[in-house]
Structure 1
Amino acid sequence: MEWHQIPLGLLQTNCYIVSKKDNSCLIFDPGEEAGKLSSFIQEKQLTPLAIILTHAHFDHIGAVEEIRQEFNIPVYIHEKEADWLVDPTLNGSQLFEIGKLVKGNRADYVLKNERELEIGEFIFQIAKTPGHSPGSLSFYFKEAGFVIAGDALFSGSIGRTDLPGGDHAQLLKSIHEQLLILPEETIVLPGHGPATTIGQEMDSNPFLNGF
Structure 2
Amino acid sequence: MKWLQCPVGPLQENAYILSNKEKESLIVDPGSEGKRLIHIIEEHSLKPLAILLTHAHFDHIGAVDELRDHFSIPVYVHTNEQDWLSDSTKNGSLLFPIGKEVTARDADHLIKEEGCLTLGGFSFSVFETPGHSPGSVSFYNKEAGIVFSGDALFQGSIGRTDLPGGNHQQLLESIHKKLLELPEGTVVAPGHGPETTIGQEMDTNPFLSGF
TM-score, shorter chain, exceeding 0.5: yes
Residue 107 of structure 2: aligned partner: 107
- Cα deviations across residues 86-106 of structure 1 (Å, max 9, x unaligned)? 111110111213111112210
Aligned equivalent of 1:88: 88
Alignment correspondent of 1:176: 176
- Show the counterpart of 2:71: 71
> Would you say 1:41 and 2:41 are equivalent positions?
yes
SS in structure 1 at match of 2:49: strand
Structure 1 equivalent of residue 198 of structure 2: 198
- Equivalent residue number for residue 153 of structure 1: 153
Matched residue of 2:45: which SS? Answer: coil
Which whole-Å CA distance do the structure 2 matches of 1:154 and 1:62 have between them?
A: 21
Partner SS, residue 174 of structure 1: helix
List structure 1 segments (4+ residues) > 2 angstroms apart after TM superposition: none
Are the counterparts in 1 of residues 114 and 128 from structure 2 also a CA contact under 8 Å? Answer: no
Superposed, 1:109-148 pairs within 5 Å as 109-148=109-148
TM-score normalised according to structure 1 size: 0.99
Q: Give the 3-state SS of the residue equivalent to 1:85 in structure 2.
A: coil
5+ unaligned residues in a row in structure 1: which ranges?
none
Unaligned runs of 5+ in 2: none
Give, in whole Å, the separation in 2 of the partners of 1:38 and 1:73. Answer: 13
* CA distance in 2: counterparts of 1:45 and 1:121, whole angstroms: 16
Q: Deviations over 1:137-189 (max 9, x none)?
A: 00000011000000000000000000010000000000000000000000000
Counterpart of 1:52 in structure 2 is 52
Kindly provide the amino acid, as one letter, of the partner of residue 137 in structure 1: V
